[in-house]
Each structure stands twice: as structure tokens, then as C-alpha cells.
Chains A and B, each alone.
Chain A
Amino acid sequence: MTDYVKDLSKVAGIEDIFKNPDIAHIFIHHHKVTKSHFVPGFNVQFEEMKDKIKVNVVVEKNTKIEKPVHMCFGMLPKTGIQHLVMNIDVGDDSQVGILAHCAFPNAVDVKHIMDANISVGKNASYSYFERHIHGTGRGIKVYPKAKIHLKENAKFRSEFELLKGRAGLIEIDYETHCGKKSVLEMMTRINAKEDDILNIRETGHLDGDYSRGVLTSRVAVRNHAKAEVYNKLTAKGAYARGHVDCTEIVQDDAVVSAVPIVEVNNPKAHITHEASLGSVDSKQLQTLMARGLTEDDATDLIIRGLLS
């Protein structure tokens, strides 16, 4: 095992996955595949280039991959650019979950760019959980961008979470088109501080009849950080149902804004939205303080719960 794999897997906390042959995994350090292991029905082709790496994933029809596939992306050096171009094709009637660990623990000037095209076939289920681990500086810039197409009765669930370290600059841009009876769930959880900047743009188009979608954002910002959350959900399909939910907690001199947009082009569709921006709820805070916690400890506990 190379040092990169050892170090990246240690940072991500996934050292045990190598013991289990049923767990597929891919390690990409910078633009090089440093380790990979696949399971039947899960096919991957790589194209390593100087300025990017292309990853084409095909999950064969009728394949159910029981254990999550671990993809570890990252860079250990302090500077550099990692550009991933991913095409994911989840075949009809198949099921796969990907746990993406993105580790940049030493970033001083690092860019992580991901351009993804994802297609989820009929009756297929695909989940993509992206967990970021950053260093303590603001030197990381993350640009995950994805276009997702859900065919009839497909299910797609994505989560983006910053587990550790500074956000730096995170610009998320995900857009999903939902076919008939498909289901979309997108969740983002980020804690920003100092001079971090967050731009979150999640768009769902409930094009098909009976399609459903939920866009959820939980953001906590403090110090001088800034966050803008743009969640858009449109509904053309009859009986489409959707909800946009944004909660942003702001402390100190941080600035947050939320732009929930709902657009309905079919009288039989129904979308709701809620947004809550501001300081930590007073009753929540005072309850914990009435149990003896200081205001800071109470705030931390509330935010940890919100982002968990």
C-alpha cells in the first residue's frame, strides 16, 4: 500500500475497508489512481491526464451492491489542483451507494474541482455521500458540480458534509432533473468560520408526474464567514411534490443569505419552502443554559445537533 493510501485512509478514518473484499474502493491522489478494488457489476475506467482525471463508472443493470463503495479523493501536499471529471451511469433496477471521502488536511493553496454527470436508470437507487476533511487554514477551494438525471422511478440521495477543518471556499452547484415517479433528496451540512465563504446552489426540476424532491441545507456561520444558499425547486409534473428547507445560524459578524425559489408550472403540483436565518433559537439556548451550560457551550451543542 502506498503512503498516500495509508495516509488518506487514516485521515478519512477508513483503514478497515481493505480487510473486506466485498467493499469496492478507489483511491485517487491528485490525478493518479493509487489503489482500487471493484466488486461484480461495478465497473470503472480511468483516464489519467496531467490536468485532470476522468472516472467513468458503470453499475450494470440489476446489480445490487450491498456495501457502500468508498471513493477517497484528496491531496496531501499543501498546494495543487485536483480536477475530477466523473461520469456515473447507474443501470436500470440497480442499487449502489458511494461514500466519497475528500481529504485535504494540509491545504494552503489547493483546489478540488469535480464535474460530474450522473444518470440513474429506471427503478434504480443511487446515493452519494460526500464527506470533507480539511485542514485548519483557509487554503482549500472546493468546486463540486454535478448534473443528475433520474429516470422513471429512480431514487437519488446526496449529502455533502464538512466533517472537520475550515470550509475555506466551497461552491456547490448541483442540478437534478427528475423523471416520472422519481425521488430526489439533497442535504448539505456545513460549518463556516473566520473568513470562509460558502456558495451553495442546489436545483431540482420535478419534470415527471409524481416525482418528489426535498432540498435541505443546514449551515452555521460565525466570525466573518459568508454563506449564500440558493435552493431552487421547480415542478412541471402532475402531482409532483417538493420541499425546500434552509436553516442558517449566524453568529458574530458573519453574513448569511438564503434564496429559496419554488416554481410550479402544473396546478396539480405542490411545493413548499421554509427558511430560517438568524442566531440560535433563544428558547433552545436558554433551556441548555438553565441546565448549567455556558452560552458558548450551549450554542456549540445546538449547532452540532443541527449539522449532525
Chain B
Amino acid sequence: MNLLEVRDLNFSINGKQILNNINVDIWKGYVHAIVGPNGAGKSTLASAIMGLSGYRDFKGEIRFKNKLINNLTIDERARMGITFGWQEPARYEGLLVKDFISAGAKNKDDKFLSGCLSQVGLRPEAYMERSVDKTLSGGERKKIELASILAMDPDFIMLDEPDSGIDVETLEKMFEVIKNLKKKGTTILLITHSLAVLKQADHAFLMCDGKIVEKAPASKIIPYFENRCIPCDHKNEPDPEVIQID
């Protein structure tokens, strides 16, 4: 069943076509990935789905749980069950970790919030009373952002470059969290150009130059990394079991 559908999405900035006739089905309970080179439009697509500022003025349709969400604000989409994890999470001077995590949490109980921190590998007693500011390393902020997503318990999570700026241990922890979320039935979209992250996905979309050039099981997209040059006018086969890479 489709949790999210993108149909005929076209988006331009200053006359330059960034997304070109994008059609995507996100299946409920699956881990999807969008892969492609820098500038392919991966983050732009995720930003359009989330309704971020500057990414609302597109042509096409985005449906979530069968409802058209084109005109919904970020928070309206979030309350429907969609959320987004930034490549570089924001810093908040003075805002405590516990207040940041609880902000969107369904359950604001301290024990539950502490559990979310523990799941991402952070000791609650060491982090709850700290500020989400520059005193935290990039990896710590990424974990805290993930904890805030876990606390929200959304239906659909988009993670932009989840491995960016973090160490191997943190990445392993993140993959563990993704596995557990999948077991729970959460739908995930990973935006990446990392093979390690792609391997966490069940299904992947290959993007190039604003277009989806392939949709296939992740295992069939993996050769993209071994064959670095993909022509952008590559024919897209509707059969998801077949991959054609010249």
C-alpha cells in the first residue's frame, strides 16, 4: 500500500528545472532510499514533500495517506505523520535537550524521553539538561535530532544524508535505530549518496539531474556506486525487478 505518492512533480528555482516530472510511490512499512550524485535533486524532493520554505511552489501532486497535501503547512504535514531529519541539524541556544525532544513528543513523560535518548546511544543523565547548542558535536546533535524524531513517533521519516558528519560508531547506532523503526512498521526515506546507507534500504530510487532514472530493490541500485557514470537519459523500466545500467 502507498503511504505517500508523488505525481508529475516539477519544480524550478530561478528558471532552472530542479525536479523533472517526478513520480514516486513510498510503500508503507518499507525503508526507501533516494540515491544519486550531488545536485541530483534528492534533498529538494524531500524538502518539497515536507513543505519546507522555498519548496512549496511546484507543479504536481503529493498525497499522503490518500490526502492531497500540496497546500498544507510544514506543521500540518507533521501532525499527519511526516517528519524530516536535516543533514546539518539546527542549534538552539538555551534550549535544553529534554525540551527539544519533548516538543513534538506524543508522550512527554521523562522516562519515555530518556528512553528515546538511550535508543540513539546517548546517556539521558548526561544529556537531558544540556543545551542543543554549539557545545554539542555534530554527531551528538544528529543523535539528538533522531531522538526527537523517535519521540514524535511519526508514520513517515525522511532523513537527509543521515551519515553526514558522524563517526562509524554513531552510524552503526543509527542503522540499528532504522532497523527497529522498520520492525515497528515506520516508513523511512533515506536521502543519500552513501553505499553503507543505501544497504539499509529495501527499495531505492536513482536520481540524476532532477529525474528518477531507476526504481528498484536497493540491491539492484548498488552497482551505481561501482559504475560511477550513469547517463541521465537512461530509460526507466516499469518493472522494479529489472535494472538497466549502461
| A→B interface (CB under 8 Å) | 218, 247, 281-284, 286-295, 298, 301-302, 304-308
Contact = CB atoms under 8 A, between A and B. Distances in A.
A246 to B, nearest CB: 13
Contacts of B52: 286
Given A288-B104, A292-B75, A292-B104, A305 B90 contact: no
Contact of A283 (B75, B86, B149): B86
Contacts of B152: 291-292
26 contacts: A218-B93, A218-B94, A247-B93, A283-B86, A284-B92, A287-B90, A288-B103, A289-B74, A290-B74, A290-B78, A290-B83, A290-B84, A291-B83, A291-B148, A292-B78, A292-B79, A292-B83, A292-B152, A293-B75, A293-B103, A294-B75, A301-B95, A304-B94, A304-B95, A306-B94, A308-B94
A289 to B, nearest CB: 4
- Prevailing SS type, chain A contact patch: helix
Of the listed residues A283, A295, A307, the one surrounded by the most CB atoms of chain B closer than 10 A to its CB is A283
Nearest to A247: B93
B80 to A, nearest CB: 9
Given A286-B74, A301-B99, A291 B104 contact: yes
A308 B99 CA distance: 12
Contacts of A218: 93-94
Contacts of A302: 92, 95
Contacts, number: 71
Contacts of A282: 53
B174 interface: no
B186 interface: no
Given A283-B90, A286-B53, A293 B104 contact: yes
Main DSSP-derived SS at the B contact region: mixed
A44 B180 CA distance: 64
Contacts of B50: 290
A283 B89 CA distance: 8
A292 B80 CA distance: 9
A298 B74 CA distance: 12
Contacts of A307: 94
A53 B92 CA distance: 42
Given A247-B93, A290-B82, A305-B93, 17 more contacts: A218-B93, A218-B94, A283-B86, A287-B89, A287-B90, A287-B145, A290-B78, A291-B83, A291-B104, A291-B149, A292-B83, A292-B104, A292-B152, A293-B75, A293-B104, A301-B103, A306-B95
Contacts of A306: 93-95
Contacts of A295: 73, 75
A49 B229 CA distance: 87
B108 to A, nearest CB: 12
B131 interface: yes
Contacts of A301: 95, 99, 103
B99 A305 contact: yes
A301 B148 CA distance: 15
Interface string B146-160: 001100100000000
Contacts of B131: 305
Interface string B199-222: 000000000000000000000000
A289 B75 contact: yes
Nearest to B78: A292
Contacts of B95: 301-302, 304-306, 308
B56 to A, nearest CB: 12
B94 to A, nearest CB: 4
Interface-central residue, A247, A287, A290, by most chain B CB under 10 Å: A290
Contacts of B53: 282, 286
Interface in B88-127: 89-96, 99, 103-104
Nearest to B54: A282
B75 A281 contact: no
A303 to B, nearest CB: 9
A228 B94 CA distance: 22
A281 B84 CA distance: 17
B76 to A, nearest CB: 9
A247 B78 CA distance: 29
A291 B78 contact: yes
A49 B8 CA distance: 80
A295 to B, nearest CB: 7
B114 to A, nearest CB: 18
